[in-house]
Amino acid sequence: MQKLIIQGGRPLHGEIIISGAKNAALPVLCAALLTKETLKINNIPALQDITTMLSLLEQMGTSITDHRSSEVSLTAANLTHLVAPYEMVKTMRAAILVLGPLLARAGEANISLPGGCAIGLRPVDQHIKGLQAMGAEIHIRHGYIHAVAKKLQGARIVFDIVTVTGTENLMMAATLADGTTILENAAREPEIIDLANCLIAMGANIQGAGTDVITIEGVQTLYGTEHTVMPDRIETGTFLVAATAAGGEIHLKNTDSRLLDAVLDKLTEAGACIDANENWIHLKMDSKPKSVNLRTAPYPAFPTDMQAQFMSLNCVAEGTAIITETIFENRLMHVQELKRMNANIEVEGNAAIVYGIPQLDGAHVMATDLRASASLVIAGLIAQGETIIDRIYHLDRGYENIEEKLSALGAQIRRIN
Ligand code: EPU
């Protein structure tokens, strides 16, 4: 199994390019199931989750051509196998995103029910409830969601809870339904706007994406198009936190500061000087960071996917911070690993109280999920001595060439088998 070895204590300096967003690319790939024509997608990140999604779509009968570094063309002319097997769904929950498109286009889908995962229970009841409201017959059999609908019908759906992939799944399903679908209490994440832009370019009629009410007028057919995936706001935020914690000056290209308001506010509060526009972000940090309190919540509030990284920053900041996780019930697993690096953190329910200390100690730690892995990388960068991170396959699911990008910024980081 591969590990990362980091020698801590070096500031970060230099320029890197941010990759396309994993959580925008995954639903956009699934949109290819909605048309017989070719969907060409640019700015696809080279990540394990993308490889898994492409294999899943290929198994269903999608032909994948022109798969070069960051581009791929998908043609789902004939869908032959309407199944997402357990082996794939268990490694990548986003496989649930094929449910809506398959049902809308082929009238049937058999998707393994995702179980709980490292960060929480993560049920998919809202996806199922929405599709049932659109007329689908859904039964859970042998651990699979078996869904059938001759033709989905437009419906008014009020989500009980704000769900990102739930909103994406139903938005895709509604594009080919009969009549109008109104999604209320919809998620407002930028990835939903990116997916909506792709679907609109394919011929869909969608209004309100990016607000909490999305209206979709079903159309008969969708067509091929070309789409460029938005920049990864979480990768961007992770590098910005790393430089705020380690000190230095970094310039991030191919990213957009407007996607990160809540994160940039917190970094400024921590003491970073930030200059930015819609194409790049420049960050300079030449003092010890100050502690920042934060509370995760759906977009545009502070993202749960940045909580773990800010935990590492707070470990070495001046003062005490309270971090409250409100989205997932078990997303504080990194605390135990950070404590192995001498961090002073107390957990009470869904909150962590982080008492800043002068320095972390390098240690052998284990990644438990994707963003927890990123927090350990940041901790390794600022710790005294050597940090070894195990189970970095989590990291490879969501960060393209992380050790190359960090090395380009002057970090001492290498991968070993
Ligand atoms: N929830 C339900 N029922 C549902 C759906 C969700 O109770 O039917 C609950 C979840 O258990 C959770 C909350 O609603 O407590 C929000 O979950 P959401 O559905 O929004 O999460 P998701 O769509 O499964 C996406 C991202 C996650 C990110 C969350 C929250 C993708 C592929 N994944 O997950 O990204 O943390 O939104 O912003 O878009 C990551 O990239 O590391 C990652 C976990």
Say if residue 76's pLDDT is above 80. yes
Nearest CA to ligand 1 atom 43: 305
- Confidence band, pLDDT 50/70/90 cuts, at residue 120: confident
Strand bridging mode 225-228 / 38-42: parallel
Question: Among the atoms of ligand 1, which is closest to the Cα of residue 305?
Answer: 36
pLDDT average, residue stretch 239-260? 98
Say if residue 116's pLDDT is above 80. no
Say if residue 336's pLDDT is above 80. yes
Identity at 347, one-letter amino acid code: V
- Confidence band, pLDDT 50/70/90 cuts, at residue 44: very high
pLDDT average, residue stretch 158-187? 98
For residue 391, the model assigns a pLDDT of 93
Give the Å distance between the CA of 393 and the centre of ligand 1.
Answer: 20
Say if residue 66's pLDDT is above 80. no
pLDDT average, residue stretch 226-252? 98
What does the buried/exposed string (b/e) look like for 7-26 if buried means 16 or more CB atoms within 10 Å of the residue's CB?
bbebbbbbebebbbbbbbbb
Residue with tokens 């909580």, as numbered in its chain: 307
Say if residue 365's pLDDT is above 80. yes
For residue 374, the model assigns a pLDDT of 98
Question: Among the atoms of ligand 1, which is closest to the Cα of residue 298?
Answer: 38
- Tell me if 110 sits within 8 A of 59, measured CB to CB: no
pLDDT average, residue stretch 322-340? 96
For residue 266, the model assigns a pLDDT of 98
Q: The tokens of 46 are what?
A: 């080279």
Residue percentage of the chain with pLDDT more than 70:
100
**Residues carrying an active site annotation:** 117
Residue percentage of the chain with pLDDT more than 90:
96
Give the Å distance between the CA of 164 and the centre of ligand 1.
Answer: 6
Residue with tokens 């509604």, as numbered in its chain: 174
Say if residue 389's pLDDT is above 90. yes
Residue with tokens 């605390």, as numbered in its chain: 335
Ligand 1 lining (C-beta closer than 6 Å): 23, 26, 93-94, 120-127, 161, 163-166, 187, 304-305, 327-328, 370-371, 398
Nearest CA to ligand 1 atom 4: 124
Give the Å distance between the CA of 249 and the centre of ligand 1.
Answer: 33
Give the Å distance between the CA of 345 and the centre of ligand 1.
Answer: 26
pLDDT average, residue stretch 7-12? 98
For residue 179, the model assigns a pLDDT of 98
3-state secondary structure the chain: CCEEEEECCCCEEEEEECCECHHHHHHHHHHHHHCCCEEEEECCCCCHHHHHHHHHHHHCCCEEEEEECCEEEEECCCCCCCEECHHHHCCCHHHHHHHHHHHHHHCEEEEECCCCECCECCCCHHHHHHHHHCCCEEEEECCEEEEECCCCECCEEECCCCCHHHHHHHHHHHHCCECEEEEECCCCCHHHHHHHHHHHHCCCEEECECECEEEEECCCCCCCEEEECCECHHHHHHHHHHHHHHCEEEEEECCCHHHCHHHHHHHHHHCCEEEECCCEEEEEECCCCECCCEEECCCCCECHHHHHHHHHHHHCCECEEEEECCCCCCCCCHHHHHHHCCCEEEEECCEEEEECCCCCECCEEECCCHHHHHHHHHHHHHCECEEEEECCHHHHCCCCCHHHHHHHCCCEEEEEC
For residue 308, the model assigns a pLDDT of 98
Say if residue 409's pLDDT is above 80. yes
Distance CA 129, CA 127 (A): 6
Strand bridging mode 248-253 / 12-17: parallel
Supply the pTM of this predicted model: 0.98
For residue 1, the model assigns a pLDDT of 86
Distance CA 118, CA 125 (A): 19
